Structure 1
């Protein structure tokens, strides 16, 4: 059982995210913290395998919590996934430098978090197998561990990034009734051409369905609906 600590200043959001975790086979929530200080204390006391860490906390931000975890020998090995509404580049960059496994932008669906938890479980299984051998056999073993995506995931075309693709995916998942490129751009704060490129990529790879939405006048608008794998 993979033990998870949920850190969020909002009690209801923490409860929702805890529920998401508990639905995933092999995962269990061992604690919830609502401040940075409580999070650091909980990691030391509970020894979770994974921390779902918010950025906006009342006493210190999540990046400061992350740095404290990395500076403490007793918590340096704790894995962290950021879950936050923070979208500024500096925060994302500092999270990457702090060694987070992933960065999920709120709001996200249960399915989006489930995918990341399952990826984490697969990564732990790979590391466990490699540990039995004491060393990696070849470059492929290393690439498999360091890959930012699970094996078999689609390789993005040139000019598209994984982080933005996940942002557009979250927007699609949040709108089961579908959304247009204009609506996607508004939801993700991307330009309309950029949003459309990602939507068309998902349509081309079979992860999104395209339907035409007819208005009163003019050409019909392309409406994208998430299908998934």
Structure 2
């Protein structure tokens, strides 16, 4: 089995330091890669056209166009790129406009890396639910909407209930484990185990911690939430 392709991300924020922090947050999330940074709304629109990212982290307060206007222009042009609003704006009208514009999530600054990672994984799960079929079934459609409606757990396409229960049970003892350790305990591949684990993180049923040490990416360690 090959590793899944990284989802590409454009970071949009007029504060250079904040954009750098958000870039680091994204690149700590396994399976996501920043391909560009924009500081204005017009630049964001141009970079989205040029780079065709999978996801845009979009601030509301920009020096020219607001993030909401950027979102409206994208949708008006028929561009359905994924958008997560990342902003200090808390006004109800702004939140409603983001929802109406089809933003996947709305994250209020300041936030921790794990707050963003949960939303990245929810976006990945929603996107994966509709992959591979021009006419998805109702279960796939429910899975696509599940990250926005956590009252009912729907497994992403390709995950089975029996294996999901077994992966979750591997953490019932309260011990923190990596995807590789869970994979060995359950008898599945590490890639498959990570998909199940990240699904449960997105659902809020597991917590994840980054363990640093040595070279390369930090190891993700999972435990019961």
Per the normalisation by structure 1, the TM-score is 0.62
Query: Quick one: distance in 1 between partners of 2:117 and 2:224?
Result: 13
Shift of 1:136: 3.1
Structure 1: any 5+ residue segments left out of the alignment? 154-204, 208-226
2:119 to 113, 116, 119: 116
Q: Indicate the RMSD between aligned Cα atoms, in angstroms.
A: 2.4
Q: Tell me what 1:136 maps to.
A: 136
Q: Which runs of 4+ in 1 moved over 3 A?
A: 149-153
Structure 2: any 5+ residue segments left out of the alignment? 1-5, 155-203, 207-222
The DSSP-based 3-state class of the residue aligned with 1:77 is coil
The DSSP-based 3-state class of the residue aligned with 1:3 is strand
Shift of 1:6: 0.2
Shift of 1:107: 0.6
Query: Quick one: distance in 2 between partners of 1:22 and 1:206?
Result: 23
Q: Tell me what 2:105 maps to.
A: 102
1:6 aligns with 2:5: no
Q: Tell me what 2:48 maps to.
A: 43
Aligned length: 154
Q: Tell me what 2:201 maps to.
A: none
The DSSP-based 3-state class of the residue aligned with 1:125 is helix
Query: Quick one: distance in 2 between partners of 1:14 and 1:64?
Result: 20
CA separation of 1:61 and 1:135: change in aligned 2, threshold 3 A: same
Larger-Rg structure? 1
2:28 to 16, 23, 26: 23
